[in-house]
Every structure is written in structure tokens, then in C-alpha cells.
A and B are shown apart, each in its own frame.
Chain A
Amino acid sequence: MKMLWILAMKELRDGFRNRWVAAAIVVLGVLALALSVLGSAPTGSVRVSELDISVVSLASLSVYLIPLIALMLSFDAMVGEFERGTMMLLLTYPVTRWQIIMGKFLGHVLILSIAILVGYGGAAVVLTLVTGFSTEGWPAYATMMVSSVVLGSVFIALGYLVSVLVRERATAIGAAIGLWLVFVVLYDLLLFGALTMDKDQLIGQQLFSMLMLVSPTDTYRVLNLSSFEGVSEAAGIAGVASEAGLSGTLLISVMLMWVIAPLISTLLVFQRREL
């Protein structure tokens, strides 16, 4: 455990040193504020809280942004150290390969958590100060922040898997962009296309729910847009998830599977790797 902490702290310090943390906080915070300000305009007479509306717009933004930030943090984690030769030296220290992966993971998740907490959290505090405090909307907002960390963890883990599989950093960048495109853009595009073409309604409720669980970004979307009543009303998809039989626990578990599976695969590849 001590080893994990030492390795995680190194990653965290690196994150602060190269202004990664600062940049992520600024990007997330500014966009969250901007969306909240813009989003609060058309509220009109619908009785939903400011924060609920923020969750809708932020969740939609996070689906694009969080995986991108996570992949940028992680694509270099393994291949960079192999290429520079620092991994070889690190492995002659009293650390196991499992500890190296988990230490890095812990550090990178901490970086992302700090960025989300300060960026999104800060924006929520500002919004509350402007519009007046109400307890309404906070559970949904908190869920959005926590699930954003989990979504980020999914892509940090996927980034490691890419990073341990390729031989060069340049390939890792390409593969990371590919992963982002597939999970963030292409899958949804294909699914949307299939749904529009599906005139005979072959894709029933059951199948649709399954398809939502295949991509971690969609799981995240469903979790945030439909778990809380106020949010679903604001998003205009009231009750989708409950009808689809997707509970919050199931959704979070599926996302956690997306964290664990790539991490284990990374470890298995790393264990067999010879330097």
C-alpha cells in the first residue's frame, strides 16, 4: 500500500508540475460555468432547479471531454517509460508490476478527481451563490461528479491498455484518438442510425437497454440523465431508465467493470513483457 502511495504521489506531483491539473480545472470550470449561465436562460416556467439543468448540459459535455482528458493523461503512462528507459530502472526497485500500474492509476484518478471536484464543484458553488441556495439538485449534481470520475477512470484504464500494447508513443496517440472516436462518437452514431432505420421496431426496449450498457459513455449518459426525476424532466427523457430496467447500481457496476477489465488486461500484458 505504501508503494502504491509513493508511485501515486509521483504522478500527482507530475500533474501539478506540468500544469496538467491546472489546465483541466480551468477547462472544466469555465465550460461548466458557461453552460450553466447559458442553460439557465430558457428555464422559463418549468419548475426545475438550476443545478438539474446544469447536470443535463454538463453530463452531455463530460461525455466528450472527460474521456479526452483521461486518455491524454494515460496514453503515455507505459509506452513513455518503456521508450525513455525509465521503466527498466523502476523495475529494479522493490516494486511489483502490479504496484506500478495501480500506483499510476491511483495518481491519475486523483488528478482527474481534483480537476472535476474543483472545476465542476467550483462552478456549482458559483451558480448557487448567484441563484440562491437550495438543497434541490445537489444529489444529482454530486452523482454527476462522482460518475464523471468513474467515466474518467474507465478511459484512464483503457489508455493504459493501449499504452502497454504499442511499441511507440506515436502509435499510442493514434490508438487513443481511435478509442475516443469509437466510444464517444462512432458507437452513438451507429446506434442512432440503426434506430432511425429500424422501422419495424426490431430493436425493442430490452435490446436497447443492452446496447446502452455496451458503451461506457452511454452508460454514463443514462445514469446521469435519467436517475433523478428533476434531471430527466429537464432532459426531456423522463423515466427512460426506469422503464428500461436499468438501476443506478447496475449502471455504476457496468462502468466499474469497464475500469477493472482493462486494468487486468494491462497487468497481464505487462507481466509477460520483457525489457
Chain B
Amino acid sequence: MQMAASKSIIQPVISVDSVSKVYAGETVVSEVDFKVQPGECVVLVGHNGAGKTTLMKLMLGLTRPSSGTVKVFGGNPAVSGAVAQHKSLGYLPESVAFYDAMSGREVLAFYARLKGVSSNDCERLLESVGLGGAAGRRVGTYSKGMRQRLGLAQAMLGNPRLLFLDEPTTGLDPGLRHQFYELIDAMHKEGVTSLISSHALSEVEARANRFIIMKAGVMIAGGTLDELYLQAALPVRLQLSVAAGQASSIAERLGSGLTIDEIGDERLHLSCFNGDKMPLIRRISALGDLVSDLQIMPPRLDEVYSHFMNGDRP
């Protein structure tokens, strides 16, 4: 019994094992490997056509891998027996479509019935996504943002344990975006595992435990933010405020293991690799009063991202 209990704790919610998918002779996902642990929020990042949506469809059992294995809640999601698991997952497809002739309330009630959720929950969800007033209107008359919000409401039906959100914030204005992430945060606190795809890294930066960067079907990098910084091996920038006229002599005295970006009158811009950073800082502090201030600027996330996207794989 204890064995089983400890096993269920370490068992990942999702495991993708060297998965490839070929559509009509074209490889859209190639040899992708990753795992998602319970309670994690993992973000799939990449341009359009990077294979993010296909990966989600594979995990939802909508399509089958050409090679490799996908497991969700420990089983193959593409067999009909996996349908029972669908009660505990929510999915928001990219540019979600509904039955246009039905009202927002009817659409949500239909999905709620399929999930065995009471209709009281529907009203609460409609309110929470700000559709309370428009619930009686035909979905065909909804704006893109309203559809997206209805999409989110249906994904949250029945308190899912696992959420798949494909480009969830497209079509939402900044205020709604913020509100949206508050909803996600609240679910996250309750231990919901989520997989979010996005092409805007900065937006999801603070929410995610881990990132998976996809490019043309290949997973080119994956890990926590810190790991990504390490993998990218981008230079750290240092900005020194120095005594007037001393900038070039200081630059000479600091020696090797750095790049001089700019020499001003009272200012010196340097960059170095992460491993060279501490020795360099020690040398700088040994300069004493010559240096009056030091600012260290780690690479920004979008730099890390564009580093990976521009193809120079580490």
C-alpha cells in the first residue's frame, strides 16, 4: 500500500516520451520529451506552427503520435477508455468555436451537463468571466474576447485537475488579460496542473514553473527560468560609474574574461559570461574608490527567448 501511495506522488500528470507527429508527410512535432508534475504550470513557447497546438492535441487524445508515447494521468489519452479522465480536465482551444445559434448560457449548460456539473456553477462561472450580462445573447453575436471568456468558463467547469490553455489571452484587452491570469493563479493555488501555450513569453514569465521552447516541431530548450539563462549562456552586462577620465585605464586594468562594450567619460559598460562574473566583480571591488557604483544587469527574458529562436542552439 505504501509503495502505491509513494508511487502516485511521484507519478507525473503528463509524460511525453520521444514523441513525433507526421501530418501528410510533414513532421510537425519531432522527438519531443518532457514531463509535467502535479501542480506545475508549464508554458509552451514558440511561434505559430512550432507544434504547440499539435502537442496539446496529442495530450488530449485528439490525435495519435506517429512514434513515441504520450501519457496523461498515467494512461494513453487516445484510447476510448481515457474518456472518463476527461471529467477532470479542461481545454481552451486556440480561437475557440461554439454553436453560434445557442446563447452563452445554453452553451455552458450543455457542456456542464456533459461533465455532470450543476447549472448553479454555470451562473457563477459566467459571472466570474464577466459574461453575466451577455449570457442570454446568441454566441454568434459575441466578440472575439467574449468567446474567449466563454471558452475559459467552459474549461473551468467542474474544477478540473488539469488545464490545457492554447493561446488563452489572444483577443483579450489588457484589463481582461490581468483578470484572466488572476483566475489562473487562483486555480493554481488549489493545486491545478496547467499547460499553457503562448507566443508572448514576458506575459507568462511570472506564472510559470517551467518553460518549453518549441521551434519548427523541435523542443529546443526546456527548464525553469534560471536553467534557461544558464543554457542560453548569454553575457551579463555590468555598468560602472568611475572617476572622471579614468574609464579607459580601468578597462585596461580589469584584464581578460570580459568584453568592453562602451567607454564613456565617467561610465564604463562591460559584459562577461556568467562564470566570469564573480572574479570580475572581485577585481572591480579591488579598484577601491575609482569605482563609485556598479550595476549588474542579467539578460532579459526576451533576449533569452530570441537567442533560442534565432537558432544558435547551446
Q: Which residues of A contact B (CB under 8 A)?
A: 3, 6, 10, 13-14, 17-18, 84-86, 88-89, 91-98, 274-275
Contact = CB atoms under 8 A, between A and B. Distances in A.
A17 B101 contact: yes
Nearest to A85: B97
A94 B91 contact: no
Of B93, B113, B115, which is in contact with the most chain A CB atoms at under 10 Å from its CB?
B113
Interface string B99-110: 101100010001
A142 B64 CA distance: 49
Contact of A86 (B87, B91, B95, B97): B97
B84 interface: yes
Contacts of B97: 84-86, 89
Count class of interface residues, chain B: 20 to 34
Contact of B114 (A85, A86, A93, A97): A93
A17 B102 CA distance: 9
B57 A94 contact: no
Of A6, A13, A89, A91, which is in contact with the most chain B CB atoms at under 10 Å from its CB?
A89
A18 B101 contact: yes
A40 to B, nearest CB: 41
25 contacts: A6-B110, A10-B110, A13-B106, A14-B99, A85-B96, A88-B57, A89-B96, A89-B97, A89-B154, A91-B61, A91-B62, A92-B60, A92-B86, A92-B164, A93-B86, A94-B86, A94-B87, A94-B115, A94-B116, A95-B83, A97-B80, A98-B80, A274-B62, A274-B64, A275-B57
Contacts of A95: 83, 86, 114
Given A93-B114, A275-B63, A14 B93 contact: no
Contacts, number: 63
B89 interface: yes
The 8 A-B residue pairs with the shortest CB-CB distance in the complex, in nearest-first order: A85-B97, A274-B63, A94-B86, A92-B91, A93-B114, A275-B62, A6-B113, A94-B87
Nearest to A3: B114
Contacts of B80: 96-98
Contacts of A10: 110
Contact of A94 (B93, B102, B114): B114
Contact of B99 (A86, A91, A96, A274): A86
A29 to B, nearest CB: 25
A114 B98 CA distance: 27
A91 B97 CA distance: 13
A10 B106 CA distance: 10
Contacts of A84: 97
Contacts of B64: 274
Nearest to B88: A94
A89 B63 contact: no
Given A17-B101, A94-B83, A96-B83, A89 B93 contact: yes
Interface string B75-89: 000001001111101
Given A6-B113, A86-B97, A86-B98, 8 more contacts: A6-B110, A6-B114, A18-B101, A88-B93, A92-B164, A94-B86, A97-B80, A98-B80
Contacts of B115: 93-94
Contacts of A85: 93, 95-97
Contact of B62 (A13, A92, A94, A96): A92
B84 to A, nearest CB: 6
A68 to B, nearest CB: 22
Of B101, B102, B110, which is in contact with the most chain A CB atoms at under 10 Å from its CB?
B110
A88 B91 CA distance: 10
Interface in B35-73: 57, 60-64
Interface string B253-285: 000000000000000000000000000000000
